[in-house]
Amino acid sequence: MKKLFVPLAVATAAMFAAAPIAIAKADYESTMLLVQKIFYFHFATWMAMTLAIAICGVASVVYLFAGSKIADWYAVASAELVVVFGLFGLFSGSLWGRKAWGVWWQWDARVTMATMLVLVFLGYLMVRKYGGPGSEKLAAAMGIFGAATAPFVYKSVDWWRTIHPQTTVMKTLGEKWPGAWYLVLFCSAAFVLLTVLVLTARVHLEAMRSRLDDMYLAAED
């Protein structure tokens, strides 16, 4: 991974540099025109958040049941990313909502559930910070429950019809509007790469911290 890090970072930077240009050149959507273009980043950030939630969930399970320290590093790193990407998603969604539908905020299913997920993983970070010794295990419980509720967020839109676009929009996008579909994939890939990169760096930080703790303990011996 170390060898790949710099090339990947360069690639990601290039993708993020290219994305705005590609987005600006993309066709307008019929009803929402310019505003719809937020969608490319908005959707991509949810992809990144979902990936981070999945990683956190799995890592939490591994940490809780196998006691693996490395799993714990991945869990905390991905939890932070969930919060970051989640907040960006809520922010971009809010901007889009304001322009497209006239409201800064709407309590529809997906927004509510997404906010809830951000709160759950904020709770994860809070318990790690303020929970005292052994709080990694408590946080792992939050990670597991958070990841378990995430699938319901995805499906919630189908059950609770409001102004939010439903899940069918994405599935048929490839046929109806290929240009947009490829752009969505491109942006999502960029965000996913960004997630992987930041995750790697953050896990590295935790690894260093752990080494420092080990050295403290060894020094006492």
**Pairwise CA distance, residues 28 & 60, whole Å:** 42
Q: Which of 2, 25, 134, 175 binds other proteins (CB under 8 A)?
A: 134
CB of 221 to other proteins, least distance (A): 7
Span of 14-22, 85-93, 108-116, 193-201 interacting with other proteins by CB under 8 A? 108-116
The C-alpha R_g of the chain, in whole angstroms, comes to: 19
Total residues contacting other proteins (rule CB under 8 A)? 34
Tell me the Ramachandran region of residue 68: left when phi exceeds 0, alpha when psi lies from -120 to 50, beta otherwise.
Answer: beta
- 55 contacts 203 by C-beta, under 8 angstroms: no
Residue 210 contacts other proteins per CB under 8 A: no
Measured CA to CA in angstroms, residue 198 lies from 80, 107, 114 at distances of 10, 31, 22
Q: Which of 102, 110, 109, 103 is nearest to 42 (CA)?
A: 110
- Given the complex with other proteins, which of 98 and 129 has the nearer CB atom? 129
Report the residue number, 99 or 123, with the smaller CB distance to other proteins.
123
Q: Which of 80, 4, 43 is nearest to 170 (CA)?
A: 43
Q: How far is the CB of 102 from other proteins (least distance, A)?
A: 23
Q: Which residue has the tokens 């950030």?
A: 45
Q: Does 116 bind other proteins (CB under 8 A)?
A: yes
Question: Would you count residue 194 as binding other proteins (CB under 8 A)?
Answer: no
Letters for 56-95 (x = contact with other proteins by CB under 8 A, - = none) are --------xx------------------------------
User: Considering only residues 35, 70, 87, 138, which one is a binding residue for other proteins as defined by CB under 8 A?
Assistant: 138
Considering only CA atoms, which of 191, 204, 220, 196 is closest in space to residue 85? 191
Choices 13-21, 22-30, 77-85, 210-218 (CB under 8 A): range interacting with other proteins: 210-218
Distance, CA of 93 to CA of 206 (rounded, Å): 32
Residues contributing to the site for other proteins (CB under 8 A):
64-65, 112-113, 116, 119-120, 122-123, 126-127, 130-135, 137-138, 141-142, 144-146, 148-149, 152, 159-160, 213, 216-217, 220-221
